[in-house]
Structure 1
């Protein structure tokens, strides 16, 4: 029997794993998007706490970013998955359930990736806010803009403008971190590649396919981020 080629493996024929790889790719993208979105929300509030908060909120935000940037991402995923499972099991026992109850792997992975990326996005938004020239805010005040209007028309757009390049870097990190979520049992791209490699005895072929798919996702998403950067920096003078 002839050994299947890479084209056979990515196809839908008898030896094809194309549909399974496509589903795993979608799962990878969903995990990355969910983690990035959660991290973005955390990053906004974390940056606000560091820039405009009081001593307590600044201390909490500083502690959060220091700890999360110093702990391996894989460990954070373990803590969320096994800690969440322990909590859900304990709650289940209160209602009469027996045995171990697993925390949903997708939710644990998305939360863990979101928490870790939130520490990075906090610093991205904080730096972007600091990059907004004070003269632009002073001009808005001189024009009689209210605080909310200054935020909507001046501060938020300019902060986002400065933050997009850094957010693009965080997205690339989040995309790669999504591969770690396979330890929770979620069948994303790397996990599916491992399954295919074990079933066919062709690990190199499947890992090459996974590398190409990751690179394709990274390239396409990077293109969209560049388009967004061009849109939001339209009319902005570059140094």
Structure 2
């Protein structure tokens, strides 16, 4: 059915999964940082966090991908000679994809994490401090577990959207399953067959992810409804 291109597309699917996981790891780190900045009592830090979230969420993903890949490469090759590096620097499409998707979805996750932290009653942290817990211990033992439970639905949505957005990185030369499906479709003149296979693979990936994250949400919510009753 796939004319011998099945293993090639599966290799591309593995590359797509790696891209999605690394991008989400970077996005999570940037999202936590962005949320911390936006909740900071220091005015200029809060403005910096809000600017990051507003600007990035207002620019199409494809535009940012092209800016990072082509613009970033141009800037690096202009700056490198100033430090004595004369060779041409070629940004790998995988690295560009991780950096761009992580940067973009870090802005979205900053809103998710900010909302989750704000939903935690202030008295929770105050009670921990009253018991003699350090601020770091209050944050890790009291705030973070509750934040995770509240943030999982938004995190799940961002993960699903990011996973599908990895297809855009094929436009800058990454040989993911989209690029390999296009090559196979061009070679066999059956593009519908290969793009349908890729659609099925994306559906499998997002469906498995959804099941795993729903299980995680139930695990973190264990006992919550009983307590509310």
Match of 1:121 among 93, 102, 109: 109
Q: How does 1:59-208 map to 2 (within 5 A)?
A: 59-91=47-79, 93=81, 94-97=84-87, 101-208=89-196
Change (3 A) 1:91 1:50: closer
Q: Deviations over 1:37-81 (max 9, x none)?
A: 111101001101111241111111111111100000001100110
Q: Deviations over 1:5-56 (max 9, x none)?
A: xxx21xxxxx211110111001111111111111110100110111124111
**Cα RMSD (Å):** 1.6
Gaps spanning 5+ residues in structure 2: where? none
TM-score between both structures, scaled by the size of structure 1? 0.89
Larger RCO: Structure 1 or Structure 2 (Cα < 8 Å, ≥ 6 residues apart)? 2
Match of 1:227 among 205, 212, 215: 215
Gaps spanning 5+ residues in structure 1: where? 1-7, 10-14
Equivalent pair of 1:88/1:103 in contact (CA under 8 Å): no
Of 38-47 and 127-136, the range deviating more from structure 2: 127-136
CA distance in 2, matches of 1:72, 1:118: 14
Number of residue-to-residue matches in the alignment = 225
Stretches of 4+ aligned residues off by more than 4 angstroms: 91-94
Other-structure match for 1:215? 203
CA distance in 2, matches of 1:181, 1:105: 7
